[in-house]
Amino acid sequence: MSGSATLSTPQRRPRPARPGPAARVILPLDVRLMNAAASMVFALAGVGVLAAGLLWLVRSPMFPIRSIQLDGDLARNSVPTIRANAAPRLAGNFFSVDLQQGRAAFEAVPWVRRAVVRRVWPDRLAVRLEEHRAAALWQGRDGDAGAERLVNGYGEVFEANVGDVEDEDLPSLGGPEGSAALMLTLYQRVQPAFARLGLNVERLQLSGRGSWRAELDSGTTIEIGRGSEDELVARTERFVRTITQVTARWQQPLEYADLRHTDGYAVRLRGVGTTPPPAAGGAPRAAKTN
């Protein structure tokens, strides 16, 4: 006997629907404003706490400057002298000290031209100094020797005790304010020419109208005149090349020379007249050397 069986297919149950994304809750305007205000208050409070902490750190006596290290050029000053002059002008601790003010304090010490100041953790200032190197005495336009000012190698005028350089045989520069660098440059160019005669420029003067005069250690005065730097140097070189012929001929020391003539120069020798007797009906003329 045969039979048949009927198989029934189970029906799938529907899956439950997945929950969708939560709906965005929009807070009321007054709540949002309160939240923003609270955030701002907390931020301002944090800034205030940070500022108070920094202020305390700046004023705190817990970070004093315990030492000052000096390096560089210290030929004119001793370390104790520099510290005694500059240290009282330094205010604050390691964090609050004003480095620019500190630089000014060290540069106010006599003979100090430039100072570089930096902090070195945890309690030290490192200072590198550059001193003035005197190249000439500065007497200004009126020749005021009591001003006690000097000119350094950069042509800068500075105040110092002139007695510190009295053994250095420095030349004197006298001219309008602001002309020191120009005068030092010309001195450095004409001095080698005079040195070939065994002479040195003791004083170089520049008038308000731009005329130059050199006074030599022999007592001779040289009127160089006006012109560009190259013209003045060329005029001086021409004089140096030929003046020995004049002095050898007359066997008398040179007292005065005027280089302002275009075709030569006029000289005056000690004990020798430089103007011939006037011709009948004529005026005396200065003798010139070509």
Task: Please give the Cα distance from 268 to 75 (Å, whole number).
Answer: 44
Tell me which of 27-31, 156-160, 189-193 is least confident. 27-31
What topology does CATH give the domain 67-131? Answer: Ubiquitin-like (UB roll) (3.10.20)
pLDDT confidence of 51, banded at 50, 70, 90? Answer: low
Res. 264: pLDDT tops 70: yes
Tell me, what DSSP letter sits at residue 114?
Answer: E
We find that the CATH architecture of domain 134-269 is 3-Layer(aba) Sandwich (3.40)
- Residue 265's SS3 state is strand
Tokens, residue 253: 């020391």
Q: Taking the domains of the chain in order of start, what are their residue ranges?
A: 67-131, 134-269
Q: Do residues 175 and 141 lie in contact, with contact meaning Cβ atoms separated by under 8 Å?
A: yes
Tokens, residue 235: 């005029």
Q: Does this model's pTM top 0.75?
A: no
Q: Do residues 155 and 162 lie in contact, with contact meaning Cβ atoms separated by under 8 Å?
A: no
Strand positions, DSSP E, the chain? 67-72, 112-120, 124-131, 134-138, 149-152, 157-159, 172-174, 201-206, 212-216, 221-225, 254-258, 266-269
Q: Is 239 or 273 the better-scoring residue by pLDDT?
A: 239
Cα pseudo-dihedral 164, 169, 174, 178, rounded to 10: -60
Task: For residue range 207-261, list pLDDT tens digits in order.
Answer: 999 999 999 999 999 999 999 999 999 999 999 999 999 888 888 899 999 999 9
Amino acid at 106: F
Task: For residue range 167-217, list pLDDT tens digits in order.
Answer: 999 999 999 999 999 999 999 999 999 999 999 999 999 999 999 999 999
